[in-house]
Amino acid sequence: RYGVSDEIISQVDPVTLYALVSTVEALVSSGITDPYEFYKYVHVSELGNCSGSGMGGLSALRGMFKDRFTDKPVQSDILQESFINTMTAWINMLVLSASGPVKTPVGACATAIESVDVGIETILSKKAKVVIVGGYDD
């Protein structure tokens, strides 16, 4: 339904899939059915992403530590899936194709509101004209 390939689904942490789907749902519910529509009005470098997380990909972290310790097979690029900013990078790459500022706030239980604050600062400082904001955790 969301166009995420089986290859991507098998590679990324479940919270990344949640962040991708949530971003698409937010765009659709705001009337934007094609993210490339932004680029009629702003350059790709003027679309920022300030989505954040408190922990990042916990399934990837578990795989990196527990599964490796118990000699279970893990994907070779598991480290990158455990970083907090990986979800934001996937959103930029798969949904937005943007090259604007990427800022990944971490505020424990207040990450989403901190993301809004960072997004506002990014727009006011003229580093971006449009910013995607939000928080995700599992």
**Neighbouring residues of 48: CB distance < 8 A, sequence distance ≥ 6:** 98, 100, 101, 102, 103, 119, 122, 123, 127, 128, 130, 131, 132
* pLDDT of the residue at 44: 96
Output the pLDDT for position 119.
Answer: 98
What pLDDT does residue 137 have? 85
* pLDDT tens digits, one per residue of 116-135: 999 999 999 999 999 999 99
Tens digit of each residue's pLDDT (9 = 90 or more) over 31-90: 999 999 999 999 999 999 999 988 777 777 778 788 778 888 887 787 788 888 889 999
Domains, the chain, in order of start with CATH, read: 6-135 (3.40.47.10)
- Reading the block at residue 68, the tokens are 């490796």
Q: Which pLDDT band, with edges at 50, 70 and 90, does 1 fall under?
A: low
